[in-house]
Amino acid sequence: MSLHDLKTLALENPFEINWDTVSNTPESEKNKFVAELSERLPVLEQLYLRLSTGQSPVRPGTPSALSYEDMEEALVATTDELVSTYAVLDTIARYNAIMNIIKSY
């Protein structure tokens, strides 16, 4: 699966959000959370691309020393994290867009 396919999958499968909690969370905490997710995304994408092509997760361009089963397990876990991260970042972007519209009135 390509990264684009994973992004599409993330957007097709929404998740439940407790909007009261989001609304009551201080802005600084929200910003910190978004910053950490944004920093983590490229690392997850690189790890996914390495694992999906049989490369070592720690040494790019070299074959992985992991067994097939371990490689598949790591790929599934990384895929799940990546899809979740895409979904959360998209939801946050939508939330911010809505809040900007509300604030402009």
- Do 100 and 23 contact (CB within 8 A), yes or no? no
Q: What is the pLDDT along the chain (105 residues), one digit of tens a residue?
A: 888 888 888 888 767 777 777 778 888 888 888 899 899 999 999 999 999 999 998 888 899 999 999 999 999 999 999 999 999 898 888 888 988 999 888
Q: How many CB atoms lie within 10 A of CB 44?
A: 20
Contacts of 51 (CB under 8 A, 6+ apart): 57, 64, 71, 74, 75, 78
Q: Can you tell me whether residue 55 is helix, strand or coil? A: strand
Residue type, 32: K
What residue numbers bound the domain in which 87 lies? 3-103
- pLDDT of res. 71: 92
Number of domains in the chain: 1
